[in-house]
Amino acid sequence: MIGLGVQAVLVAAGFALDWRLGLLLALWFGAWTLNAGLAEGRGPWVRRLVPAVFGITLLVLWQMAVRLFEISPVILPAPSDIWAQIIGSLPTLGADFVQTFVKGALSGYLIGCGAAVGVAILIDRSPFLQRGLLPVGNFVAALPIVGIAPIMVMWFGFDWHSKAAVVVVMVFFPVLVNMVAGLKATDSMQRDLMATYSASYGQALVKLRLPAAMPFLFNGLKIATTLALIGAIVAEFFGSPIVGMGFRITAEIGRLGLPMIWAEIAVAALAGSAFYGLVALIEKRVTFWHPSQRR
């Protein structure tokens, strides 16, 4: 990206200003040169190694910067502090995870996505309803729906039910819009074939149109995984029992317990990508026939 000469000048300037800055710059450019070299390589391992090196470099730089410049843990804790916090408070993190993810996000996700698929199949037979509901659904999908969190907390109380309700509303419209598009994905030739088999509406739905809708549906389901976790966490900012990831974040902010907040964020990130990964895995199994899944 930048020539080696420029890098050397920058590192030297860094050392001249402050040896710590020079050290960090040297490490950054060193790792970058290593990665640039690695990226030239071929093979499946390069695809994994290069981002791994980049991620580890960032972590090491973070750790060194915090230690060398003696940044207060109230502003930015070092990765090692966060790791120690994670190991030290596994039971708390586990309880928060169950409260927010399993009870709030997951139940809301299942209800919301199930309802969206059901409604999509119901309105599929009525072009009138589709023309009316889809623009409204598209409109609602663009709105800051997390804002309904205080209302849901008022209606359903502080416990996980209100979080699940927020999640239901958040995931409903993206899944609905995608599912309706998916049910339209068959072409007339395929539908004619079903008609020549004298397939009933139900048979054509199960054998042809639902499978054809799956790639679209999973697109919506994947978008919804992130929304579900965001909804459950943000809803807890508006009131929650004394357990839950969002509650822990707000409570620790009051005590400036930054390592704990970062630990919760690490758990949320892990849960989010695992959830997404799980849905992507199911997608691979269900839509193995789709061109995008072929190798």
Partner 1 sequence: MVPGRTGLGSVDGGAVVMRSIVPILTVVAVILGLWYLAAVRLNATWVYDQAARDGVTVSFAELVPMTWSQERPVLPAPHQVAKGLYDGLFGQKITSKRSLVYHGWVTLSATLLGFGFGSVAGILLAVGIVYNRAMDMSVMPWAIASQTIPILAIAPMIIVVLNSMGVTGIVPKAIISAYLSFFPVVVGMVKGLRSPDAMQLDQLRTWNAGGFDSFAKLRLPSSMPYLFASLKVGVAASLVGTIVGELPTGAVAGLGSRLLSGSYYGQTVQIWAALFAAAFVAAGLVAIIGAVERVVLKRMGMAR
Of residues 74-103, which lie at the interface with partner 1 (CB under 8 A)?
Answer: 74-76
Q: How far apart are CA 91 and CA 84, in angstroms?
A: 14
Q: What is the CA angle 92-97-98, rounded to 5? A: 100
Name the minimum Å distance from CB 200 to partner 1: 27
Q: How far apart are CA 221 and CA 176, in angstroms?
A: 10
Q: By CB under 8 A, which span of 38-46, 88-96, 111-119, 190-198 interacts with partner 1?
A: 38-46
Residue pair 223/174 in contact (Cβ under 8 Å)? The answer is yes
| Size, binding site for partner 1 by CB under 8 A | 84
Residue 287: phi and psi, rounded to 5, are -110, 40
Identify which of residues 199 and 208 has a Cβ nearer to partner 1 in the complex. Answer: 208
Instruction: Pick the binder of partner 1 from 15, 54, 62, 83 (CB under 8 A).
Output: 54
Instruction: Pick the binder of partner 1 from 80, 92, 186, 226 (CB under 8 A).
Output: 226
**What single-letter amino acid sits at 69?**
F
Q: How far apart are CA 123 and CA 133, in angstroms?
A: 9
Instruction: Pick the binder of partner 1 from 6, 8, 17, 256 (CB under 8 A).
Output: 256
Name the minimum Å distance from CB 120 to partner 1: 13
Residue pair 64/238 in contact (Cβ under 8 Å)? The answer is no
Instruction: Pick the binder of partner 1 from 13, 16, 30, 55 (CB under 8 A).
Output: 55
x-or-dash string of contact with partner 1, 180-199, rule CB under 8 A: -xx--x--------------
The number of angstroms, rounded, from the C-alpha of 109 to the middle of its chain's C-alpha atoms is 13
Identify which of residues 36 and 87 has a Cβ nearer to partner 1 in the complex. Answer: 36
Name the minimum Å distance from CB 196 to partner 1: 26
x-or-dash string of contact with partner 1, 117-156, rule CB under 8 A: -----------xxxxxxxxxxxx-xxxx-xxxxxx-xxx-
Identify which of residues 12 and 154 has a Cβ nearer to partner 1 in the complex. Answer: 154
Establish how many alpha carbons lie within 13 A of residue 64's alpha carbon, considering only the half-sphere containing its beta carbon: 16
Establish how many alpha carbons lie within 13 A of residue 226's alpha carbon, considering only the half-sphere containing its beta carbon: 8
DSSP class of residue 18? -
Q: According to the binding rule CB under 8 A, does residue 13 interact with partner 1?
A: no
Structure tokens at 285: 């199994």
